[in-house]
Structure 1
Amino acid sequence: MPALSKLNPFAKALLIRRSFSAALPSLCVLSCALPVIGHAQAAAQSISIPAQSLGSALQEFGRQTNHQVLYNSDQVGGLRSTAVSGNLEATAAMAQLLQGTGITYSAQGNTIALRSLASGDASLDLAPTTISTTQESAWGPVTGIVAKRSATGSKTDTALSEIPQTINVITQDEIKMRGSRTVTEALRYTAGMTGGGFSDRVKIFDEPISRGFTPTPLYLDGLHLPYGGGSTGGSLQIDPYSLERIEVLKGPASVLYGQNQPGGIVNMVGKRPTATPLHEIILGGGSYDRKYGAFDLGGPIDDQGEFLYRLTGVVHDSNSQIDYADQKRMMLAPSLTWLPNDRTSITVYGQYQKDRDTPEAQGLPAQGTVYRTPRGRISRNLFIGEPSLNKYDREQFVVGYEIAHELNDTWTLKQNARYADVDDLYIAPLHGYSFEPNPNTGVDDGSYQTRFGVDWSQRNKVYGIDNIAQAKFNTADVEHTLLLGVDYYHFNSKFLGLYDRTGPAIDLYNPVYGSEFNFRQPYRWDNTIKQTGLYAQDQMSWNQWFLTLGGRYDFAETDNKQPLSGDRSKQKDEKFTGRAGLGYAFDNGMTPYVSYATSFLPQTGVDASNSAFDPTTGKQYEVGIKYEPKSVDGFIQLSMYQIDQEKMLTTDLDNPGFSVQSGSVRSRGVDLEGKVNVTHNLGVLASVSRNQSKWHRSNDGREGRTVAVGTPLSASAWVNYDFDISTSLAGLGMGLGARYVRGSYGSDYKEDSFQIPSYTVYDAMVSYDLEKSPLHVKGVKVQMNLENLADKKYVASCGSDLDCYYGESRAVTVDVTYNW
């Protein structure tokens, strides 16, 4: 029999059913579970499998029936299945599926083995030890909150336990369960990821913090997204409803992705066409006059299943807890897959999104938010802009394709290419850096703050292509998954900024609107970044040991132009980065590992001697344990790390207005995260993260100081429970979550340092599945989410004593979902 590594992945045996007994607590008696399982095997169920290649039809059969199918891909290659539809017992459906193929089957329990009549009834069974025990794909959907495979950390379909770095996966089911409206919100319960600040409060883009470093670069399906930098805009914002999963790779990622911050990356995996028909519509409402609509449609276009489609859309309109602020969005994401044969897959996809918002920049002083003043505290609803002036318009467009072709049992070729374009306009008065005397008293009491007016327009475009040759082979007893790749990306950013640096002040406690701003002093840039990377990776396994080695050489070029002044600077950098990781998988599900990884990030500009800056470099040491319990469906991981980033820019004390590369930051910490389906109706996720980020070296007074981003300690937990169908509360589901963030520093500098208080916020969810309820309304589910259940007023983060941001107040969303 062929080894599993040599089977065609488009038609290999897969889909061990989700064992009912494995979902029960370990104390449950097996004899109680067996009758239940036996009854489930004999029950008829709704099955719909279009006619298609037999290999893919068998995959779909296993997914829909939770049966294990054993077969030899060489024997089913080139055969077509018969369409199956209706309420059928699994074996009857299999008999119908195999009509006219010359293949029959035998069933034992939840396992079906195929046999070829043409070969004299010779068995096509595979040895049980060679069968994959998971139906999950690294790029596909996950049922529930527990994911066990990923491609973000390896660019191959790999078990999370075999990747020697921390990978966190937030599934679409978890996104829906917690009612996350942005990617930043979806990451709130992930260890080592912190939000707050402008992006979390204003919600026009996502900029999370990973292991004390910001911004964490965002990727979509493994390719770079345009990023304008900070609050100037110029960034795509991907709606979480369009995603299958969100994955976080902790620590340096340059060996696979090129130039990056050393804290890690966030890779968003988009929805793709499926062979299973799906139809979903969502209508919602909620706090702040929220109006929401979404749909997700997909499945085969033809009877043979050669062409598959997916169409996802979102319409959203709501006000905000901040006075006068609002958000409007329209998004449409089509995709099409062509499967000309069992060895080839071609997918083309696109996305168009239009946002029309009235944003509010916030950025409030510590006096009045962190600390009470004689006039009290500043309202969470305060709008410091001008209702008739503030505007954020964004139009974003994405188009790309993915091709995979198996040359033979060893080599697979892949190409992933995408063009992304974002055009946005941001007009708003921001917080100023000084105060004026109160005109009523003549006293400077910190209530009248000046404003800094901006009119920013930006157009960012990025083209990326990743070419991969993947080989699976053995040398003696060592199994190899070899990756050879060449990728390229071209990023261009054009910006025009107009300013009013002496804007009229506003009373932070009793605002009066109607002031005029005079935008002038234009500033332009036209910056281009090009990067070509050559990389290789070998994932080796021997018995229960695994070793991952990777190396990459990058050629990076930066061209910065300032059209108004005529200034221009060019810089070319070449850099090698690498990664090594070693681990051992024990039989009890424990997998300890150790790894080392490096990164680089080019810097723009020149020093006082007109010399270009070198790239900053990063390195991480990580040790950890990943645990996949045998008695329940879960995944738990613990990691300890140290990250050093060198050659960081600090102030040149001898030449004001210039910088020198004398800074370094050290981040040390521990991350613990677990997601477990304790029983079939009880799910738990929890995380704890301890991080200490300090200036290791600095020439401007910050050496030894804690970096004023993130928090030294955060913890979160969410418990979800669905009532059994045998009870009178069948269909009812409830969830409760808590997020704790310890107080952090609001400034890097000793002279103006202050502490932000700790806070704990509670979230909740109540759902009612009418199909499982006594009402038996097929396909309808109602869900209500409550954010900040107790309506706690707290400061989430500060960038300085004049740049603090409140956390969100209580918000309620209600959605009605219909699936058919």
Structure 2
Amino acid sequence: MKPLRLRRSRKRAAATLCLGLSAAAALQPSLAEPAAANSAAVYRFDIAAQPLYAALSQLAEQTGIQFVYSPDLVRSLQAPALSGSMTADQALQKLLAGSGLAHKAGQGNSVILEKTAVNEPQSAPGSTTLPSVTVVGKASGFDDNDPRSREYAKSHSAAATKTDTPIFDTAASIQVVPRAVMEDQKNTRIKDALENVSGVRAQPTLGMGTGFIVRGFKVDHVFRNGLITTQSNGFNSEFDIANLESVEILKGPSAMLYGRSEPGGLINVTTKKPSETPFYSLEQQFGSYDYYRTQWDATGPLNGDKTLLYRFSGSYQDNNSFRDLIFTDRVSVSPSITWKPSDATDFTLNVEGLKQDYQADFGIPAIGNRPANIPIGNSFGDTNDPVDHLSKVHLGTEFNHRFNQDWAIHNRFLMSRENNEQVFVNPSPAFGNALLADNRTLGRNIFSQENEVEAYTTNLDLTGKFKLLGMQHDALVGFDYTQSHTMYHTQGDWQNRNPALDIDIYNPRASYGIPSSVFDSTLATYVQPGREYSMFVTEWYGAYFQDHITLWDKLHIYGGGRYDWAEVGRGRGATEASAENALEYSNPSVKRKDEAFSPRVGILYQLALAQRLRQLEQFVRRQ
């Protein structure tokens, strides 16, 4: 058990020491070279049929070529689907086939598009007309598959539609905090990353980091790669960002795709995946209040043909706080492996383990409608308060198979197990005013809680693109299932004040040092005998469909629905067995079944200005 510590007054200036080692993948061309130097390089393309400007944008992202053309040249032009291994020149010829456009090499890695037969309009005598030019490409050195790449703006969000629809074309409010931002800010928890998102604020969670208010609604649970994690009954958890690629916020209702979500929004974290590009990184951070953090990341292929990839990331963090008695000691380890038996199929297995010792913090009491005017470091626990403990593990899989350019099937699975033990010197009553009439004495008592959660969730999605009656359709049909069991155990007294434990909020240190015998005797009782144990169960099925219709490249119409079948229950008893029996031989007051249909409709029209802004956003995002 880690020794308890008081806040240390010695502060250290924040400093960060970074060591990065990287190796380029074999045969990977340098994007800093001219396009001609890459003419023989072979790429694997998987570009769906879509407007030509969008296809050119994807080609630019993968090859590093910058395309220069007038927007009038590609207006209303469609590009065919492109799949297979070929050079960039071969891919461009296929995309431009039948379009009436030709290409020629420009300076550096640029390619100029022009009509095969140019008929310039006659200009007035003595005047010169310069055509408008659009540049679509990306800065040299940017590669979506390279872990060294730094992308500050994400064009897609997996959580928003469960498809590859760009955020710009989605009739919803979506914000994504990418890895580059989290690294620059040196975030360590998703709570830190979400400080960048409007309409989201952290909620006190007694030392945990996954309680939030989104657009005024409480959000306890966090989704991981599109699947709900263990926070299924209001028990907060923790995520370290060492293994996170991004944090996504889908604002507003999302029940059509996910079933159980709050009206304010949904929080989804995406984890890092193995990469074909070898990359190794080790980082050491130092900071105030005895802050030490070590973070590492390693990825690359395990065999010559790059069909087997690995990634191993993690962190260790140890720190005190500006608050007395508060500290965190956390280690996170996340190995993953990807198998690609063919160009059309991939399977990823990922594991995430986290162990954290910490001390819960109840904050500062209020006097009237304002925080008490006391030193911000004053804490109202105790030096003999046992250390709180959290341990959890996530085991996930992801399977993708592309039947062709347009149709694919996706399956995800997540197993979550979590144990959380907390002992509090608790303000009492916990759900009332624990501050006495003198506005300086805080009533307290001793209380403990433990919850063990085991949850399984999976989904199966079929996505497809097709044209019908001149309309482009991006369709989704899916099914998901969630099952969780939570055993909750409580001891002590959270309701009645023990006068011997009263503390002066202006001088709390004088009351530190509660005898161990007081902890033992209080925790041997419970304020509500016969209700010490609670068993929560959840079983949830959902089937859903969605269609994204695009007209004239500007009008986007979303329609879909979901039908849910849910069963939840809570059994209570003096023992774990009696709580389980209360559920097994249940009555309507213990278990509840519900089913409901959740529709969703959205319309988005992109004005001419919006189209220009989109082109600008695509260009700036790659710089």
TM-score (norm 1): 0.56
CA distance in 1, matches of 2:608, 2:442: 63
Counterpart for residue 554 of structure 1: 564
Query: Which of 195, 204, 224 is matched with 1:198 structurally?
Result: 204
The alpha-carbon deviation at position 471 of structure 1 amounts to 1.3
| 1:513 is the counterpart of 2:512 | yes
Going from structure 1 to structure 2, the CA distance change for 1:431 and 1:549 (only over 3 Å counts) comes to same
Percent identity (aligned): 24
| 1:337 is the counterpart of 2:338 | yes
| 1:526 is the counterpart of 2:522 | no
Matches of residues 606-755 of structure 1 in structure 2 within 5 Å?
Answer: 628=613, 630-631=615-616
Helix, strand or coil for the counterpart of 2:502? strand
Going from structure 1 to structure 2, the CA distance change for 1:140 and 1:217 (only over 3 Å counts) comes to farther
Helix, strand or coil for the counterpart of 2:283? strand
The alpha-carbon deviation at position 65 of structure 1 amounts to 6.4
Counterpart for residue 477 of structure 2: 484
Going from structure 1 to structure 2, the CA distance change for 1:349 and 1:267 (only over 3 Å counts) comes to same
Matches of residues 754-769 of structure 1 in structure 2 within 5 Å?
Answer: none
Helix, strand or coil for the counterpart of 1:158? coil
Counterpart for residue 370 of structure 1: 370
Matches of residues 569-584 of structure 1 in structure 2 within 5 Å?
Answer: 569-584=590-605
**Residues 487, 533 of structure 2: 8 Å contact kept:** yes
The alpha-carbon deviation at position 53 of structure 1 amounts to 7.7
**Residues 207, 358 of structure 2: 8 Å contact kept:** no
Counterpart for residue 155 of structure 2: 148
Counterpart for residue 415 of structure 1: 411
Counterpart for residue 497 of structure 2: 502
Amino acid at match of 2:497: T
Instruction: Considering fraction of residues, name the structure with more strand.
Output: 1
Going from structure 1 to structure 2, the CA distance change for 1:252 and 1:137 (only over 3 Å counts) comes to farther
Matches of residues 566-605 of structure 1 in structure 2 within 5 Å?
Answer: 567-568=582-583, 569-589=590-610
Using the TM superposition, name which of 282-291 and 377-386 deviates more: 377-386
CA distance in 2, matches of 1:260, 1:405: 28
The alpha-carbon deviation at position 249 of structure 1 amounts to 0.5
Spell out, residue by residue over 1:701-724, the C-alpha distance to the aligned partner (whole angstroms, 9 max, x if none): xxxxxxxxxxxxxxxxxxxxxxxx
CA distance in 2, matches of 1:52, 1:394: 48
Helix, strand or coil for the counterpart of 2:439? coil
CA distance in 2, matches of 1:457, 1:570: 22
The alpha-carbon deviation at position 178 of structure 1 amounts to 2.1
Spell out, residue by residue over 1:574-596, the C-alpha distance to the aligned partner (whole angstroms, 9 max, x if none): 00001111112234325xxxxxx
| 1:159 is the counterpart of 2:166 | yes
Query: Which of 215, 228, 231 is matched with 1:224 structurally?
Result: 228
Amino acid at match of 2:173: T
Counterpart for residue 283 of structure 1: 284
**Residues 359, 390 of structure 1: 8 Å contact kept:** no
The alpha-carbon deviation at position 55 of structure 1 amounts to 4.5
Spell out, residue by residue over 1:2-41, the C-alpha distance to the aligned partner (whole angstroms, 9 max, x if none): xxxxxxxxxxxxx9x9xxxxxxxxxxxxxxxxxxxxxx65
Query: Which of 67, 82, 101 is matched with 2:65 structurally?
Result: 67
| 1:311 is the counterpart of 2:321 | no
Going from structure 1 to structure 2, the CA distance change for 1:399 and 1:323 (only over 3 Å counts) comes to same
Instruction: Considering fraction of residues, name the structure with more helix.
Output: 2
Counterpart for residue 94 of structure 2: none
CA distance in 2, matches of 1:563, 1:249: 39
CA distance in 1, matches of 2:435, 2:110: 78
Matches of residues 236-247 of structure 1 in structure 2 within 5 Å?
Answer: 236-247=237-248
Going from structure 1 to structure 2, the CA distance change for 1:139 and 1:111 (only over 3 Å counts) comes to closer
**Residues 53, 341 of structure 1: 8 Å contact kept:** no
| 1:187 is the counterpart of 2:185 | no
Q: Extract unaligned runs of 5+ from structure 2.
A: 1-28, 47-56, 68-78, 90-102, 113-133, 584-589
Q: Aligned pair count?
A: 508
CA distance in 1, matches of 2:204, 2:270: 25
The alpha-carbon deviation at position 389 of structure 1 amounts to 1.4
Counterpart for residue 354 of structure 2: 353
Spell out, residue by residue over 1:249-278, the C-alpha distance to the aligned partner (whole angstroms, 9 max, x if none): 111111000122111110111111112222
Counterpart for residue 401 of structure 1: 397
**Residues 245, 269 of structure 1: 8 Å contact kept:** yes
Counterpart for residue 179 of structure 2: 172
Helix, strand or coil for the counterpart of 2:192? helix
CA distance in 1, matches of 2:35, 2:292: 41
**Residues 427, 434 of structure 2: 8 Å contact kept:** no
**Residues 484, 535 of structure 1: 8 Å contact kept:** yes
Amino acid at match of 2:602: G
CA distance in 1, matches of 2:465, 2:615: 28
The alpha-carbon deviation at position 62 of structure 1 amounts to 6.5
The alpha-carbon deviation at position 403 of structure 1 amounts to 0.5
The alpha-carbon deviation at position 505 of structure 1 amounts to 1.1
Going from structure 1 to structure 2, the CA distance change for 1:178 and 1:44 (only over 3 Å counts) comes to farther
The alpha-carbon deviation at position 629 of structure 1 amounts to 5.2
Going from structure 1 to structure 2, the CA distance change for 1:44 and 1:324 (only over 3 Å counts) comes to farther
Going from structure 1 to structure 2, the CA distance change for 1:435 and 1:335 (only over 3 Å counts) comes to closer
Helix, strand or coil for the counterpart of 2:256? helix
CA distance in 2, matches of 1:144, 1:469: 29
CA distance in 2, matches of 1:301, 1:480: 39
Matches of residues 20-39 of structure 1 in structure 2 within 5 Å?
Answer: none
**Residues 312, 336 of structure 2: 8 Å contact kept:** yes
Matches of residues 450-469 of structure 1 in structure 2 within 5 Å?
Answer: 450-469=443-462
The alpha-carbon deviation at position 214 of structure 1 amounts to 0.5
CA distance in 2, matches of 1:144, 1:366: 46
When the two chains are superposed, the root-mean-square deviation of aligned CA atoms in Å is 3.9
| 1:540 is the counterpart of 2:540 | no
Helix, strand or coil for the counterpart of 1:187? helix
Spell out, residue by residue over 1:463-497, the C-alpha distance to the aligned partner (whole angstroms, 9 max, x if none): 11110111111113111111110100111111101
The alpha-carbon deviation at position 72 of structure 1 amounts to 8.8
CA distance in 2, matches of 1:436, 1:400: 46
TM-score (norm 2): 0.73
CA distance in 2, matches of 1:215, 1:238: 15
CA distance in 1, matches of 2:167, 2:603: 14
CA distance in 2, matches of 1:142, 1:150: 18
CA distance in 2, matches of 1:492, 1:269: 24
Counterpart for residue 52 of structure 2: none
CA distance in 2, matches of 1:60, 1:478: 22
Helix, strand or coil for the counterpart of 1:169? strand
**Residues 313, 333 of structure 2: 8 Å contact kept:** yes
**Residues 210, 238 of structure 2: 8 Å contact kept:** yes
Using the TM superposition, name which of 273-282 and 284-293 deviates more: 273-282
Going from structure 1 to structure 2, the CA distance change for 1:571 and 1:400 (only over 3 Å counts) comes to same
Counterpart for residue 382 of structure 1: 378
Counterpart for residue 20 of structure 1: none
**Residues 235, 422 of structure 1: 8 Å contact kept:** no
Going from structure 1 to structure 2, the CA distance change for 1:411 and 1:356 (only over 3 Å counts) comes to same
Q: Extract unaligned runs of 5+ from structure 1.
A: 1-14, 18-39, 82-89, 92-104, 114-128, 438-443, 591-626, 635-675, 681-820
Helix, strand or coil for the counterpart of 2:219? coil
Going from structure 1 to structure 2, the CA distance change for 1:270 and 1:419 (only over 3 Å counts) comes to same
Q: Which runs of 4+ in 1 moved over 6 A?
A: 59-62, 71-75, 131-142
The alpha-carbon deviation at position 410 of structure 1 amounts to 3.4
The alpha-carbon deviation at position 76 of structure 1 amounts to 3.9
Helix, strand or coil for the counterpart of 1:305? coil
